[in-house]
């Protein structure tokens, strides 16, 4: 019994970590290869050190994926160790999530105690969006883990006024940049702010410390990018999703400012019209999201398509209340009132008379740190135009820490105070229960049994705390700790149920989310999320045709984009050209280069996007081609003019379904046609 009394927190922490591992990894093999774009890259990386270092999407080293390398190096290492499987690539993400839960426990308990640390770990473990993304091969869980290690170093740097730990902290943020580029910098305001406010050194020396650490941040962040950009273009793959073949441009543009204030638009698709650019992103994103499978059935919200898997950050407009939007709230916002009211409650308690100055300083440091962690992310996710819902996993540690810290400090105010401050806890519990009722209100089948738990139990507990405090006056209410614990447990039930849905129903691997919608749509659109080309092609028949007829060509086939190439690479391990990169918009291939490749026997088969019967060329749709912006139309026209059209029944068993069914975008996007360029060598 004494052993249990001494180690109870370790036992509970082990249980929380086991639950985290279960939610993140149980039956993960049912997710297949996860996001096939990244899976194809890992398969290609395993084929040569050149592909491994440069993050080549295809075995031929034609184009890279649109992310930095660290997470995919870890996935490739896991695949090398355990074999190339979907579960082996997801393993590093699941392990990173477990480590993140352990880290949040450590960071919180060292200031607020073991019980508070366990609450923070439990909240993070059942944050739906973190669980959903941990079951895929997206790099976000590794980024969360890296920045939490950086947070540990930064807090020590501020507490000890240590340059060494400050340099380590910002160096780790630089490592995070090499996991997912600018997203890692969302924590930088917290790092700079806390060190400036709480390091006990003179301002001039503090500036010098920050300047040196910033230099380390820049060097680490740009290390891999610099090597890639300094390598001659002829000796490496093209940088995917960039327009100038530059990793720096990719980081600043596509993975940087365009996520917040994009300056380019998708094509405005109109029948029999030429491509037209538009800057009206709200209009374009609405069109994109309309193409996805919309949630249906009794478990989903009413009111039209609200599919979890688009580019946009939810169905509502930008603004500070966006986290309460019907898409976003169920992923991350279940405990927001507890977290935000807890900041104020903890601050008031740190200012109470007789408080120990060192303890108050440490508490305020933690509050400022986690508050500055959350604030920039709330702003970002409130205005971001081009982002996925699972990016919010970066917000999860901050909310978990603040909710746990706030709950503890508000309970101590309730216990020790007799005035209005004592009622922060019951107000926060009631407000959190009310928010959960709002989130659940759109899901009638789920709300029937979850609302009584979330609102009923927490509301009754809040009322009991108020009555108990009124009766007891300055004395602690009898059973208050137990009542508060019951209320908090009730508030964790709904997010825990949401966190179970990715495991129960599967999720969209390229844009993972959690929630009742998955009961209807979890298996739909896995891999790329149900958009792009290739959704209705009989890949096996195409592959068999190409393997029989391709001869000794370097590339098995050239296809419009990575979405079409990925399943072929995964099935064959052969070099496949994703001519226009990820979405087909990258200006990689020129007519002159194509002619050289055909003449040299490097490429025989070329697949183009076209729609017969529409003016603009022999078979071309003016809005088709593998470049949405029309940059590659000259290549398309050359292929159509000099190649021989292969009858579709020879390579696609779904020929009669061309342009129909399959991917929900196939009704909007043109079909695919295969050309044999063998006779073109003499042209």
User: Torsion over CA of 25, 31, 36 and 37, rounded to 10 degrees?
Assistant: -50
- Say how far apart CA 524 and CA 527 lie, in whole Å: 9
**In the prediction, which pLDDT does 661 show?**
35
Instruction: Report how far residue 348's alpha carbon sits from residue 546's, in angstroms, rounded to the nearest whole number.
Output: 70
The pair of structure tokens assigned to 590 is 């020129």
Q: What is the pLDDT of residue 352?
A: 72
418 CB burial (10 A radius; 0-12, 13-18, 19+):
exposed
Alpha helices in 384-456 (DSSP H): 396-416, 424-440, 444-451
* Those residues with Cβ within 8 angstroms of residue 38's Cβ, 6 or more apart along the chain or in another chain: 65, 67, 72, 75, 89, 137, 138
Quote the DSSP letter at residue 617.
S
Q: What is the pLDDT of residue 317?
A: 63
Name the DSSP class of 174.
Answer: H
3-state secondary structure at position 266: coil
Query: Bridge-partner residues for 645, per DSSP?
Result: 675
Instruction: Report which DSSP code applies to 324.
Output: G
Question: What length is written for the chain?
Answer: 683
pLDDT at 548: 94
**What residues are paired with 56 via a beta bridge?**
64
Q: What is the model's pLDDT at position 351?
A: 78
Decide: residue 235, CB within 10 A, 0-12 exposed, 13-18 middle, 19+ buried: exposed
Cβ-based burial of 357 (10 A; exposed 0-12, middle 13-18, buried ≥19): exposed
Per-residue 3-state assignment (H helix, E strand, C coil) for 536-548:
CCCHHHHHHHHHH
Q: What is the pTM of this model?
A: 0.88
CA distances from 476 to 105, 136, 153, 485 (A): 28, 47, 38, 15
Task: Kindly give, in sequence order, each residue whose CB lies less than 8 Å from that of residue 108, ignoring residues fewer than 6 positions away.
Answer: 116, 117, 119, 120, 121, 366, 401, 404, 405
**What was the pLDDT predicted at 540?**
87
Specify the pLDDT at position 633: 85
* Low-confidence spans in the chain with pLDDT less than 70: 1-2, 261-318, 353-355, 473-477, 521-537, 610-631, 653-670, 679-683
Helix, strand, or coil here: 674? strand
Residue 641: CA atoms inside 13 Å, Cβ hemisphere, count? 11
Give the other-Cβ count within 10 Å of 628's Cβ: 22
Residue 532 to residue 300: CA distance in whole angstroms:
25
For residues 419 and 560, what is the distance between their CA atoms, to the nearest angstrom?
Answer: 68
Mean of per-residue pLDDT scores for the chain: 84
**So what's the pLDDT on residue 474?**
64
SS3 of residue 83 by DSSP:
coil
Structural tokens at position 369 = 């740190």
Residue-level pLDDT at 215: 98
Residues 334, 437: Cα–Cα separation, whole Å: 10
- The reported pLDDT for the residue numbered 79 is 98
Q: What's the CA gap between 76 and 62, in Å, rounded?
A: 19
Whether 77 and 127 have beta carbons less than 8 Å apart is answered as no
pLDDT of residue 95: 98
Q: Can you give the pLDDT at residue 58?
A: 97
What value, to the nearest 5°, has the Cα angle with vertex 677 and ends 581 and 649?
85
Q: How far is CA 455 from the centre of its chain?
A: 30
Q: Which long-range contacts (CB under 8 A, 24 or more apart) does 114-117 make?
A: 114/9, 115/9, 115/408, 116/404, 116/405, 116/407, 116/408, 117/9, 117/13, 117/404
Model pLDDT for residues 215-244, shown as the tens digit of each residue: 999 999 999 999 999 999 999 999 999 999
Which residues are CB-neighbours of 102 under 8 A, at least 6 positions away? 13, 17, 121
Rounded CA separation 609/358 (Å): 67
């Amino acid at each position: 019994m004494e052993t249990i009394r001494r180690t109870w927190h370790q036992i509970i922490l082990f249980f929380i970590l086991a639950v985290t591992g279960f939610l993140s990894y149980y039956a993960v093999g049912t997710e297949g290869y996860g996001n096939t774009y990244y899976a194809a890259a890992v398969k290609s990386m395993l084929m040569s050190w050149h592909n491994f270092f440069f993050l080549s999407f295809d075995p031929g080293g034609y184009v890279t994926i649109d992310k930095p390398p660290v997470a995919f190096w870890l996935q490739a290492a896991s695949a090398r160790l355990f074999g190339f499987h979907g579960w082996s690539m997801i393993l590093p993400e699941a392990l990173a999530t477990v480590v993140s839960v352990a880290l949040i426990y450590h960071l919180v308990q060292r200031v607020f105690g073991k019980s508070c640390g366990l609450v923070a770990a439990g909240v993070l473990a059942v944050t739906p969006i973190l669980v959903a993304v941990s079951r895929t091969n997206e790099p976000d869980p590794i980024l969360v883990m890296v920045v939490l290690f950086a947070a540990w170093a930064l807090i020590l740097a501020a507490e000890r006024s240590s340059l060494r730990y400050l340099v380590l902290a910002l160096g780790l943020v630089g490592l995070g940049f090499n996991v997912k580029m600018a997203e890692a910098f969302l924590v930088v305001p917290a790092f700079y702010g806390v060190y400036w406010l709480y390091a006990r050194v003179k301002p001039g020396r503090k500036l010098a410390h920050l300047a040196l650490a910033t230099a380390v941040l820049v060097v680490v962040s740009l290390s891999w990018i610099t090597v890639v950009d300094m390598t001659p273009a002829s000796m490496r793959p093209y940088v995917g999703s960039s327009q100038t073949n530059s990793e720096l441009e990719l980081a600043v543009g596509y993975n940087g400012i365009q996520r917040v204030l994009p300056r380019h638009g998708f094509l405005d698709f109109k029948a029999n019209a030429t491509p037209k650019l538009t800057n009206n992103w709200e209009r374009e994103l609405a069109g994109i999201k309309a193409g996805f499978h919309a949630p249906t059935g009794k478990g989903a919200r009413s009111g039209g398509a609200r599919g979890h898997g688009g580019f946009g950050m939810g169905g509502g407009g930008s603004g500070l209340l966006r986290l309460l939007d019907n898409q976003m709230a169920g992923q991350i916002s279940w405990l927001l009132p507890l977290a935000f009211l807890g900041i104020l409650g903890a601050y008031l308690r740190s200012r109470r008379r007789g408080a120990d100055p060192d303890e108050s300083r440490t508490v305020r440091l933690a509050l400022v740190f986690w508050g500055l962690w959350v604030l920039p992310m709330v702003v970002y996710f409130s205005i971001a135009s081009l982002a996925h819902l699972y990016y919010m996993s970066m917000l999860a540690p901050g909310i978990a820490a603040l909710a746990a810290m706030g709950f503890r400090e508000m309970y101590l105010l309730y216990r020790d105070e007799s005035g209005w401050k004592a009622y922060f806890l019951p107000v926060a519990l009631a407000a959190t229960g009310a928010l959960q009722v709002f989130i659940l209100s759109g899901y009638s089948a789920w709300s029937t049994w979850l609302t009584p738990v979330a609102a009923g139990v927490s509301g009754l507990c809040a009322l009991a705390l108020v009555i108990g405090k009124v009766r007891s006056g300055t004395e602690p209410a009898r059973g208050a700790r137990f009542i508060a614990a019951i209320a908090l447990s009730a508030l964790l039930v709904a997010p825990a149920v949401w966190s179970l849905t990715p495991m129960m129903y599967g999720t969209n691997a390229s844009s993972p989310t959690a929630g009742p919608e998955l009961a209807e749509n979890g298996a739909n659109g896995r891999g790329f999320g149900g958009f792009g080309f290739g959704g209705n092609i009989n890949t096996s028949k195409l592959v068999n045709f190409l393997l029989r007829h391709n001869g000794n060509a370097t590339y098995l086939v050239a296809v419009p984009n990575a979405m079409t190439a990925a399943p072929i690479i995964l099935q064959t391990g052969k070099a496949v050209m994703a001519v226009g990169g990820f979405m087909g918009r990258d200006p990689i291939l020129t007519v002159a280069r194509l002619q050289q490749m055909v003449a040299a026997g490097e490429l025989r088969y070329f697949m183009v996007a076209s729609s017969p019967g529409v003016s603009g060329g022999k078979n071309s749709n003016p809005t088709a081609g593998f470049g949405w912006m029309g940059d590659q139309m000259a290549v398309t026209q050359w292929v159509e003019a000099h190649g021989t059209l292969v009858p579709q029944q020879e390579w696609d068993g779904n020929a009669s379904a061309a342009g129909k069914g399959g991917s929900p975008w196939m009704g909007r996007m043109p079909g695919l046609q295969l050309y044999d360029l063998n006779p073109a060598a003499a042209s």
